[in-house]
Chain A
Amino acid sequence: MTTIVTAFSPGTRRGFELLLIVAAVVVSCAAYALVGLGVDGTLPVRLLAIGGGLLGLGVALHLVVRFAAPYADPVIVPIALLVNGLGLVMIHRLDLADGTSLAVRQLGAAAISIVVAGIVLVVLRDHRRLRARTYTAMVVGLVLLLLPLVPGLGRQVNGARIWIDLGVTTFQPAELGKIAIIVFFAGYLVVARDTLSLVGPKVLGLRLPRARDLGPILVAWLASVGVLVFERDLGTSLLFFGIFVAMLYVATERVSWIVIGLGLFVAGCAVAYQLFGHVQNRVRVWLDPFDPELIDAPGGSYQVVQGLYGMADGGLLGTGLGRGSPDIVPFAESDFIFAALGEELGLAGLFAILVLYGILVQRGLRTAIGVRDGFGKLLAAGLAFSIALQVFVVAGGVTGVIPLTGLTMPFLAYGGSSLLGSWIVVALLLRVSDLARRPDLPPARPGAALAPASPQDENPTQVVRLP
């Protein structure tokens, strides 16, 4: 028996990744150069420094991946780098208009975030180790989520209390809390999925859960409503609850959870709308942003409307980088960077960016399908969906699909905490995809805490459906 049957191997494709990284840096540098040409007709003096820095970061992460996660999906890092680079370019462009220097800080934050992502890849050699930390993750996640409510530490910015003040800088802990909560959901659901999915009365073709199994979803719902009410942030609330419902559905395969979840969320929103003026205000602005009374009112629609004007001005092909007036929109570098890019890159540019996000999410979901352990599936699905939902909530708010919220565009928007969170998401997705794409079972490493999951261990055939 010397014949060894080898499964089809797609290869590591690290060379392809490097090529895409170089392409992402080239595109970012071209955009950066266009900003300079568009604003004052000269090439930016720091073009080589910025381009070199971006390339250095990309190549460094590539080398870490090559060493620590050789089979990881080759498209994830280049996309994240490209969107990050485009965000930097737009922040730099707004710097020129506003006389600020946020792009330098953002580049620093990107460097730190990418280094942290590398460290995560190196330290966390197997994502299944996280499963042992399920309840630690829960505590960390809740603490991070609720931290802005601590008096003296929390800061209210633009109505939303989702910031904490660290003295030297402010931080949005929910960006990291999100990841911890996803780890917790994955760990919790992989254990509880059988109970949640199999027992309960069947009503109208929907198998409803038992009352006592409703506990966790009610807790998650209460936490979300709490965020909405006390931190005044619809976006974070929607994000957390949406991730939870999606992961619950993936774990249990039961549509009834989605129905229950959406019903609870709608009910929560309805109650919040009745009780809180700021929610009513947001909805009013959403329904009729062009109402003359709302445009100049405090907390009114000025920002939304100016963002829409900018996007409409951009049209199909945009005004060109550096040639629009995206700086008219308040917080164009963070909340409204989507509108700023829409103005200068046009509909074509926004489609390209949305497609980039789409590919990134698709790669994450593909990882979830490809990986064999249930925890990994749920983790990758939750992380990937969090990116999709966050993009939807932000861009949907800017373009009027849903009320405006305080979330940030992953990789794109100005803000260190958002960038750090997004790059950690990338690191975790790389980690899971490394296992998912590994042609053979990884050789058991000495000292590995968990036994390698055999395909059978997590195979759904274990589930016995009762009539």
Chain B
Amino acid sequence: MNGPLRRLAVVVALLLGSLLLSTSWVQFVDAAGVSAGQGNVREVYREFGRERGPIVVAGQPVAESVEVDGAYRYLRQYPQGPLYAHTTGYYSIVYGTSAMERAYNDVLAGTADSLFYSRIGQVLTGQDPSGGSVQLTLDPEVQQVAAEALGEQRGAVVALEPATGRVLAMVSSPSYDPDRLSSHDLGDVRQAWQELNEAESRPLENRAIAGRLYPPGSVFKIVTASAALESGQYTPETQLPGPAELDLPQTTTTLPNYGRVPCGPDDLTTLADALRTSCNPAFGQIGIDLGAGAIRDQAAAFGILEQLEIPLTATPAVVPGDLNAPQSAQAAIGQFDVRVSPLHVAMVSAGIANDGVVMRPQLVRTVRGPDLQVVDEPQPEAIGAAVSPETAQQLTDMMVQVVEAGTGTSAQIAGVVVAGKTGTAQTGNDTDPHAWFTSFAPADDPQVAVAVVVENGGDLGSETSGGRVAAPIARAVMEAVLAP
């Protein structure tokens, strides 16, 4: 029987050999292919089992990982909840990440290449990577004031530091609670997700930079005024037609002034007065004379036509450049197909405030490794000179007049010279207009540039105007920045 026994030993060797092959296949040869299969939660467990770094505003975490019991060792929490939701984003087991959680995921997770040196110790000792932290440029007081001033109204506020491009406040309303989406109770996460996505108010959208863009209305007149001054054909004193209605060439329609009143005596006005009173016919005439192409070029010079990563992705503005005369007239007053976000409007104001130089908007102040060493510190960077310093000064003076004696008087701050511009953007025949206001202050040494939009008139509805609804919000934000 020994012959068959030896052959049986060969069979056993074959059986065990096949196991060596199959385990090698699963664990080595095709390990990557196997891991890529559907429903592999190990990657998720590994990620959620790591201590993720915090997102910090002025030394206080607005997103942090807390160790908890359960399958996922760390729970992502947002101590300020909705206030910073659109900046931090959420960190969901089911729906992934968004906003800063996504943009700086590798830093927060501790896997970024830039963290390699600060992680060497952890690598050598076999510790799980712990994440780096991201310090934001946001000012918690300004953010708080902006959110409170906007209140329940739908809209957004962006405040920039003109000299650096740092974002001091970014509020989008309504907001949402990122804690709920980042919960470990997956049923509740799904429910919250469904509610948020079905909500007619679209709370997940960051209206400040990436929502559906808005028609800017009259705040766009500062872009048109910039184009006019930069063309060399205009000065603030240039006489312009200011009738109650401007006849548009090639059509039977007219471009009416607000309230259908003339902008000045003898149906004439100056460029400076046209901006102060937000005279539609005068700017319509500039649009016809300059052409839409020049206005589009000016918008591009302000940097608002490119897709910005601040590092959250900001939707580029839409400013058509190939329009006929009547369309150009409408585009010149921020109607027709012109669409912008509050960030774009704030960038225009900030550019004028910064002697014509637009700085690249930036939300990140510093990035630190797990050992708190600074690994990255984005430096202020100029997008380019949108207008000359002289033009910037002329625009500043004109915008100061808007607040001193024009449509934007409710943005006045005692003891501070404020430059601003209102906007009341038509949205259609059945809906109330959007109220806009943009401003910067102090006019001679700008510390802050603000843009505010309140959708569909906000609390005032059809009675709305940029001056009545949006300007007080901008004033509150500016006061918060300028407060000693």
Interface residues of A (CB under 8 A from B): 246, 249-251, 253, 290, 292, 295-296, 302, 305-306, 308-316, 320, 324-325, 328, 342, 346-347, 350-351, 354, 357-358, 361-362, 365, 368-369, 374, 377-378, 381, 384-385, 388-389, 391-392, 395-396, 399-401, 460
Q: Which of B5, B30, B34 has the most CB of A within 10 A?
A: B5
Selected from A378, A385, A388, A400, the residue in CB contact (under 8 A) with B1 is A378
Give 27 pairs: A residue, B residue, CB < 8 Å, sorted on A: A246-B11, A290-B38, A295-B38, A295-B39, A305-B39, A308-B37, A311-B23, A312-B26, A312-B27, A312-B30, A313-B35, A315-B31, A342-B26, A346-B27, A350-B27, A354-B23, A358-B12, A365-B12, A369-B2, A374-B1, A377-B1, A381-B8, A391-B16, A391-B19, A392-B18, A395-B23, A399-B25
Q: Which residue of the partner chain B has the closest CB to A346?
A: B27
How far in angstroms is the closest Cβ of chain A from B38? 5
With CB as the reference atom, state the residue of chain A lying closest to B69.
A99
B28 sits at the interface (CB 8 A): yes
Q: Are B26 and A400 in contact (CB under 8 A)?
A: yes
Q: Tell whether, in the assembled complex, residue B18 and residue A250 are in contact, meaning their CB atoms are under 8 Å apart.
A: no
CB-nearest residue of chain A to B7: A249
Residues of B within 8 A of A385 (CB): 8, 12
The one of B5, B38, B39, B45 that contacts A369, using a Cβ cutoff of 8 Å = B5
The 3 closest A-B pairs by CB, nearest first: A312-B34, A399-B22, A347-B27
CB atoms of B4 and A250 under 8 A apart: yes
Interface residues of B in 10-58 (CB under 8 A from A): 11-13, 15-16, 18-20, 22-28, 30-32, 34-35, 37-42, 45-46
20 extra A-B contacts, CB within 8 A, seeds A311-B26, A325-B45, A351-B23: A250-B1, A295-B39, A306-B39, A309-B34, A309-B40, A312-B30, A312-B35, A313-B35, A350-B23, A350-B27, A354-B23, A358-B12, A358-B13, A361-B16, A365-B8, A368-B1, A368-B5, A374-B1, A378-B1, A388-B16
- Which residues from chain A contact B24 at a C-beta distance below 8 Å? 347
Chain A residues within an 8 Å CB radius of B37: 290, 305, 308-309
Contacts of A325 in B (CB 8 A): 42, 45-46
A345 to chain B, nearest CB (A): 10
The CA of A396 and the CA of B22, in the complex, are separated in Å by 8
Docked-complex contact B19 and A354, CB < 8 angstroms: yes
Whether the pair A308, B26 counts as a contact (CB closer than 8 A) is: yes
Contacts of A365 in B (CB 8 A): 5, 8-9, 12
Check if B259 is an interface residue, CB within 8 A of chain A: no
A302: B residues at CB distance < 8 A: 39
User: In the complex, what distance in Å separates the CA atom of A249 from the CA atom of B35?
Assistant: 42
- The answer to whether B3 and A399 have CB atoms under 8 Å apart is no
How distant is the Cα of A121 from the Cα of B51 in the complex, in angstroms?
54
Q: State the CA gap A377–B1 with chains docked (Å).
A: 8
Across the interface, A354 reaches (CB within 8 A) one of B8, B16, B42, namely: B16
Interface SS of chain B: helix, strand, loop or mixed?
Answer: helix
B89 to chain A, nearest CB (A): 26
A295 to B39, CA, bound (A): 8
Residue B34 contacts which of A308, A358, A369, A392 (CB distance < 8 angstroms)? A308
- Please give, as numbers and ranges, the residues of chain A lying within 8 Å of B25 by CB-CB distance: 399
Pick from B16, B22, B35, B38: contact of A357, CB under 8 Å: B16
- Distance of A358 Cα from B32 Cα, bound (Å): 29
Residues of B within 8 A of A310 (CB): 42
Greatest chain B CB density within 10 A among A251, A309, A368, A374 is at A309
**CA–CA, A391 and B37, complex, Å:** 26
A316 and B9 contact, CB distance less than 8 A = no
Contact A253 B42 (CB under 8 A): no
Contact residues in B for A460 (Cβ distance below 8 Å): 1
How many Å from the CB of B281 to the closest CB on chain A?
Answer: 63
B5:A401 contact, CB within 8 angstroms: no
Residues on B with beta carbons closer than 8 Å to the beta carbon of A369 = 2, 5-6
Decide: A292 and B4 in contact? CB cutoff 8 A. Answer: no
Q: How far, in angstroms, from A354 to B17 measured CA to CA in the complex?
A: 9
Contact residues in A for B32 (Cβ distance below 8 Å): 312
Residue of A290, A309, A362, A399 near B42 (CB, 8 A) is A309
B130 nearest CB across to chain A (Å): 14
Interchain CA distance A361-B26 in the complex, whole Å: 25
A316 to B29, CA, bound (A): 10
In the bound assembly, the distance between CA atoms of A302 and B3 in angstroms comes to 44
Task: Flag if A312 contacts B12 (CB, 8 Å).
Answer: no
Q: Report whether A312 and B31 are in contact in the complex, using a CB–CB cutoff of 8 Å.
A: yes
Tell me the nearest residue of chain B to A348, going by C-beta.
B27
Bound CA span A316–B26, Å:
10
Identity of the chain A residue whose Cβ is nearest the Cβ of B9 in the assembled complex: A365
- Residues from chain A with Cβ under 8 Å of B41 in the complex: 309, 328
How close is A335's CB to chain B, nearest CB, in angstroms? 16
User: Within 8 Å CB of A378, what residues of B?
Assistant: 1
A400 near B12 with CB under 8 A, answer no
Partner of A347, one of B9, B13, B23, B30: B23
In the complex, chain A residues whose CB is within 8 Å of the CB of B38: 290, 292, 295
Q: Which residues of B contact A354 (CB under 8 A)?
A: 16, 19-20, 23
Q: Which residues of A contact B16 (CB under 8 A)?
A: 354, 357-358, 361, 388, 391-392
In whole Å, how far is A159's beta carbon from the nearest beta carbon of chain B?
A: 21
Closest A residue to B30 by CB, please name it. Answer: A312
Give CA–CA (A290, B34) in the complex, Å. Answer: 9
**With A and B bound together, what is the CA distance between A1 and B46 in angstroms?**
78
Report the separation of the CA atoms of residues A79 and B6 in the bound assembly, to the nearest whole angstrom. Answer: 22
Greatest chain B CB density within 10 A among A306, A313, A361 is at: A313
Cβ contacts under 8 Å, B31 to chain A: 311-313, 315
By a CB distance below 8 angstroms, the chain A residues around B4 are 249-250, 253
Residues of chain A within 8 A of B126, CB atoms compared: 320
Q: How far is the CB of A302 from chain B (nearest CB, A)?
A: 8
Complexed CA–CA distance, A302 and B6 (Å): 40
The residue in chain B whose Cβ has the minimal distance to the Cβ of A246 is: B8
A residues less than 8 Å from B6 (CB atoms): 369
| Residue ID in chain A nearest B127 by CB atoms | A41
Q: Given the complex of chains A and B, what is the CA–CA distance between A388 and B10 in angstroms?
A: 12
CA distance A282 to B451 in the complex (A): 64
Q: Across the interface, which residues of A come within 8 angstroms of B13, CB to CB?
A: 358
Q: Considering only CB atoms, which chain B residue lies closest to A358 in the complex?
A: B16
Chain A: CB-nearest residue to B44: A325
Q: Once the chains are docked, how many angstroms separate the CA of A253 from the CA of B40? A: 49
Residue from B4, B34, B37, B46 having most chain A Cβ neighbours under 10 A? B4
Cross-chain contact A396 with B19 (CB below 8 angstroms)? yes
Q: Which residues of A contact B30 (CB under 8 A)?
A: 312
User: B45 touching A314 by the CB < 8 A rule?
Assistant: no
Across the interface, do B5 and A316 meet the contact criterion of CB distance under 8 Å? no
Asked, given contacts A249-B8, A328-B42, whether A316 binds B27 with beta carbons under 8 Å apart, the answer is yes
A109-B467 Cα distance, complex, nearest whole Å: 83
Q: Is the CB of A253 within 8 A of B3?
A: yes
Q: How far is the CB of B338 from chain A (nearest CB, A)?
A: 46
Please indicate the chain B residues that have their CB under 8 angstroms from the CB of A311 in the complex.
23, 26-27, 31, 34
Q: How far is the CB of B20 from chain A (nearest CB, A)?
A: 6
**CB-nearest residue of chain B to A400:** B22
